[in-house]
């Protein structure tokens, strides 16, 4: 019996290590199963205008990150085709920039307070590529970032095809001081197949998942400022090129590059 107990404890510790959580952390796992929003991207053409709108242009200082792309709503950069949303980054001269890409958001169309939000995505590969599936507080027009809050469900650098990041930004913990954790994919890469990226979010925690593997939990006690995640948020899908975080593409980064999205789903 003692041997069995030791084996059980060892198994728990190994499992905890696999999740990236120390043995004294308490994981809150809630399965939310009521589907309240779904885009399966099964109608060819532009993204569903009932759910999605576009950010166009270069934003302020390259969307705050010195990014190099011009975001458009052209089918060359974004379209639904063959069951997938395709966000395509291109190297081309356009509106004074050397790259184009796309960024869509559900702001004012679908916003949610809490839930399980997930997307199945195949990511590109190459230095300078920065795709993301993320969220901003719906009050982002009046509560200037980071006061509005930001939840990065998935961020990825094309130069590191086995790693993704799950992050929160808020007042006192933004940019380089954000609360973040890396998930490394075992025995594979994110550019060779689709993977499901998600969070399960409630009043006092945000759980981060890859392929239903829980790899991080962030709670109010983990942040170094106000917990600003008890308000509605909207979703964003985009692929940036260059910027402070990934750096510029190099000669070995081929273009065009595609971020393929199979679905976006939200459960309560």
Whole-angstrom Cα distance, residue 155 to residue 110? 21
The yes-or-no verdict on residue 26 having pLDDT over 70 is no
Contact 235, 228 (CB under 8 A): no
Phi, psi of 248 (to 5 degrees): -75, 155
Catalytic residues: 150, 155
CA 3 to chain centre: 43
- CA dihedral (136, 137, 143, 149) in degrees, to 10, reads -70
Average of per-residue pLDDT values in the chain:
91
44 near 224, Cβ under 8 Å? no
Least confident of 14-28, 107-121, 173-187, 234-248: 14-28
Token representation of residue 145 = 């970032």
**Structure confidence by residue, pLDDT tens digits, 128-179:** 999 999 999 999 999 999 999 999 999 999 999 999 999 999 999 999 999 9
The pLDDT of residue 28 is 66
Containing 150, the helix (H) or strand (E) segment is: strand 150-155
Coil, helix or strand at residue 163: strand
Contacts of 9 (CB under 8 A, 6+ apart): none
Entry field: residues in the chain? 268
- Give residues with Cβ within 8 angstroms of 183, minimum separation 6: 20, 163, 164, 165, 166, 208, 210, 213, 215, 216
What's the rounded Cα separation, in Å, for the pair 163 and 145?
A: 26
* Nearest residue to 216 via CA among 230, 201, 233, 229: 201
> 264 by DSSP, 3-state: which?
strand
Cβ contact 162:188 at 8 Å? yes
Q: Distances in Å between the alpha carbon of 125 and those of 201, 214, 241, 259, 260?
A: 29, 24, 12, 10, 12
200-258 pLDDT tens trace: 999 999 999 999 999 999 999 999 999 999 999 999 999 999 999 999 999 999 999 99
b (16+ CB within 10 A) / e for 19-51: bbbeeeeeeeeeebeeeebebebeeeeebeeeb
Read off the pLDDT of each residue in 16-43 and give the average, rounded to a whole number: 71
């Amino acid at each position: 019996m003692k041997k069995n107990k030791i084996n059980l404890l060892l198994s728990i510790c190994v499992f905890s290590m696999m999740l990236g959580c120390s043995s004294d952390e308490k994981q809150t796992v809630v399965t939310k199963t009521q589907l309240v929003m779904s885009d399966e991207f099964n109608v060819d053409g532009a993204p569903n205008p009932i759910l999605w709108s576009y950010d166009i242009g270069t934003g302020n200082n390259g969307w705050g990150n010195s990014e190099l792309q011009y975001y458009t709503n052209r089918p060359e950069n974004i379209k639904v085709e063959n069951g997938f949303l395709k966000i395509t980054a291109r190297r081309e001269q356009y509106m004074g920039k050397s790259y184009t890409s796309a960024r869509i958001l559900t702001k004012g169309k679908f916003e949610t307070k809490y839930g399980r939000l997930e997307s199945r995505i195949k990511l590109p590969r190459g230095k300078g590529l920065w795709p993301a599936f993320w969220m901003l507080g719906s009050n982002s027009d009046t509560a200037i970032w980071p006061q509005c809050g930001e939840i990065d469900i998935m961020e990825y650098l094309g130069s590191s095809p086995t790693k993704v990041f799950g992050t929160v930004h808020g007042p006192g913990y933004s940019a380089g001081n954000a609360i973040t954790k890396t998930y490394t994919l075992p025995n594979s890469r994110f550019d060779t197949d689709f993977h499901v990226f998600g969070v399960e979010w409630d009043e006092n925690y945000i759980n981060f998942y890859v392929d239903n593997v829980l790899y991080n939990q962030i709670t109010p006690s983990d942040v170094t400022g106000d917990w600003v995640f008890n308000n509605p948020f909207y979703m964003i899908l985009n692929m940036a090129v260059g910027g402070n975080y990934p750096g510029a593409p190099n000669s070995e980064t081929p273009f065009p590059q595609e971020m393929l999205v199979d679905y976006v789903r939200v459960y309560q």
